[in-house]
Amino acid sequence: MATSTLPATELPIPDLDWSAASYKGHDTSDGVAYVASLRRNGKKVANVEHDGRGGVPMLYWAPNTQEHRDAWNQWVADYRSLHPKDAAYEPESVAIESLISEHQVAAMLRRSARRSTPVLRPGENILASEGYTLIRGVADSPQVQGYLRNQTNEFDRFWDGSTWVKL
């Protein structure tokens, strides 16, 4: 099985056919409730809803989408084989949460790029959005470049606007 890597989170996935979009979430007393859309090759094929009280997100498929459902089930199975450490969790939920995390981190990176705010990340392979650090200043300023070259910081990658670059 060939694999791909999500650009923002660097998470290995079976392919780039599936994505989350239109995410809207809010904190509840029990967690985060959200709605989003599940897309296949850019086309919306299902709504995703989570009530924020634990449990699994619910998928509501568009009519006449059996082909997409079958492809999604195969994608989730392939995703699970790439992430055996998550085997104890509901595989569809883990896959959905990974796509939503990619959507959220990519949005944060786009906002940072618009503001010319450099983004660094530690050397761990896969991180939640909390693992990123925004630093003030223009990317090529002496202060920022000095920070990036500092051997005592824990960061090893820099977002260049489209991909993570090793420092």
The H-assigned helical ranges of the chain are 66-82, 91-114, 142-149
Please give the residue that has the higher pLDDT: either 118 or 97: 97
Which pLDDT value is given to residue 111? 86
* pLDDT interval class at 137 (50, 70, 90): low
Task: Tell me the pLDDT tens digit for each residue of 101-115.
Answer: 999 989 988 888 887
**CB-CB contact of 79 with 95 (8 Å):** yes
Task: Tell me the pLDDT tens digit for each residue of 77-102.
Answer: 999 999 988 877 899 999 999 999 99
Report the run of H or E that residue 122 belongs to, with start and end.
strand 119-122
**Euclidean distance between CA atoms 82 and 6, whole angstroms:** 13
* Per-residue pLDDT at 124 exceeds 60: no
Mean of the pLDDT values across residues 123-146? 58
Distances, alpha carbon 27 to alpha carbons 80, 130, 157, in Å: 28, 16, 30
Q: What tokens does 63 get?
A: 């009519």
